[in-house]
Amino acid sequence: MSWRIVALSFGLVLLFVFSGCFPVFVGEARLDHIKLPPGFRIDIYANDADDARSMALGTRGTLFVGTRRAGKVYAITDRDGDGKADGVVTIASGLNIEPHSPF
């Protein structure tokens, strides 16, 4: 067996092993499993910002959400003030976002 085949096989094994190292949440959020201090509550604001990682609140109430691997930035608005997102718009895509960056 040539060293190229061995190296390729080893590389493929590493690819499969490490491709499962970053868990992705799939399914419905189980908020009842999150323990909060007395007086605090939690709820889902928006469901349509996949892979959300970083958030910043704009001066007009728009929530800007950066993603981890998707390379996107979303703008999320609550136009009627009910505490739930009314619109999720992708404002940037194709980004190479570094960890710990604001977006």
- Residue 41 domain flag: yes
- Residue 98 domain flag: no
Average pLDDT over residues 85-99: 84
- Residue 100 domain flag: no
- Residue 101 domain flag: no
Q: How many domains does the chain have?
A: 1
Asked if 93 contacts 87 with a C-beta cutoff of 8 angstroms, the reply is: no
pLDDT value, residue 33: 83
CA-wise closest residue to 68 among 89, 53, 86:
53
- Residue 75 domain flag: yes
- Residue 66 domain flag: yes
Range of the domain at 66: 3-92
- Residue 74 domain flag: yes
Strands (DSSP E) contained in 1-103 are 52-57, 63-67, 73-77, 87-92
Token pair 């404002």 is found at 91
pLDDT tens readout for residues 2-32 = 666 655 555 555 555 555 555 555 556 678 8
- Average confidence score pLDDT of the chain: 77
